[in-house]
Amino acid sequence: MKKDLRTMDHLMYMEYYTGRNAGIFMKIKKMLHSYQSPYQRIDIFEHPDFGKVFALDGITMMTEVDEFMYHEMLVHVPLFVHPEPRRVLIIGGGDGGSLREALKHPSIEEAILCEIDPYVIEAAKKYLPTAVEMDNPKAKIVNENGAEFIKKYKDYFDAIIVDSTDPTAGEGGHLFTKEFYKNCFEALKEDGVFSAETEDPFYDKGWVAIAYNRISSAFPISKLYTGFMTTYPSGLWTYVFASKKYHPIDDFDPSRVQNFDHQLKYYNEDIHKACFVLPNFIKELINE
């Protein structure tokens, strides 16, 4: 039998954490896809322990075994604060993990996934198990620049979830501007909720504070929260919840989580509250 030449035990994936002389390495069991799209370098490979690994411009977006940590925390925190989210917009999130989590909420009627790069969608559908809900009739996938797409909507969405890549990579930078956050505010209904990934506060501490301050300037309510994300730089990931009306803890009803039909792997009603408790060094970073 002919040897599968794509099976390469001698290859290694190495992510250099931005400007940090350090990073993570992972053995490549099988290279599945490696493509330079007009926007970014897309790599998908099989790891002996982590399953499929997906990277953009050499930055790990997800591994099959731990993507739940990131996607559950990014999506369920806002969607369990809003009492009945019907229309949700996910910006970025081309692997489909955030879409999958959002569609677990039975009230969702329309979920738009706005991923700039059609080649990411194509690769995700072919290789990534997270893409499982992309053909759901409630889902609509558009390939546009999220920072432009958002301008088309006013007073429309119940929730907006920003699942971007790093501000320093690919097209991520557009999704970290003051103007973009302001446009998200405008596109939300009067009781709309918002969440965004806002980087790690150890290797990339500058961006956490910048993103938090910019979001805070656009929304009356904004709170930083954290979660473990084991294959992202530092394992400590931050997110910002923001909203026009609902407070993430005072307006949170834990019984909705207890009665949820889906078994989640990370998020629960106690995590919802605990994730807003910040270590001192993160409080200092955002002057809280």
Selected range binding a second copy among 20-28, 75-83, 161-169, 172-180, rule: CB under 8 A = 20-28
Q: Is 163 a catalytic residue?
A: yes
Interface with a second copy (CB under 8 A), residue total: 44
Catalytic-role residue among 43, 57, 117, 163: 163
Cβ neighbourhood burial of 200 (10 Å; 0-12, 13-18, 19+): buried
Nearer to a second copy, 109 or 270 (CB): 270
- Shortest spacing between CB 202 and a second copy, in angstroms: 4
CA-based Rg of the chain, rounded to a whole angstrom? 18
Considering only residues 64 to 123 of the shown chain, the ones binding a second copy according to CB under 8 A are: 66, 68-69
Instruction: Give yes or no for residue 168 binding a second copy (CB under 8 A).
Output: no
Selected range binding a second copy among 159-167, 177-185, 227-235, 241-249, rule: CB under 8 A = 227-235
| Residue entry with tokens 């069991």 | 29
Q: Would the annotation count 36 as a binding residue?
A: no
- Shortest spacing between CB 205 and a second copy, in angstroms: 11
Dihedral pair phi/psi, residue 11, rounded to 5°: -100, 145
Q: Which two tokens stand for residue 214?
A: 């910019």
Q: Would the annotation count 115 as a binding residue?
A: yes
Q: Per DSSP, which regions of 115-262 are E strands?
A: 139-142, 157-163, 188-197, 221-228, 236-243
Nearest-angstrom CA–CA distance, 149 and 157: 13
- Shortest spacing between CB 269 and a second copy, in angstroms: 10
Nearest-angstrom CA–CA distance, 131 and 144: 18
Residue positions annotated with a catalytic role: 163
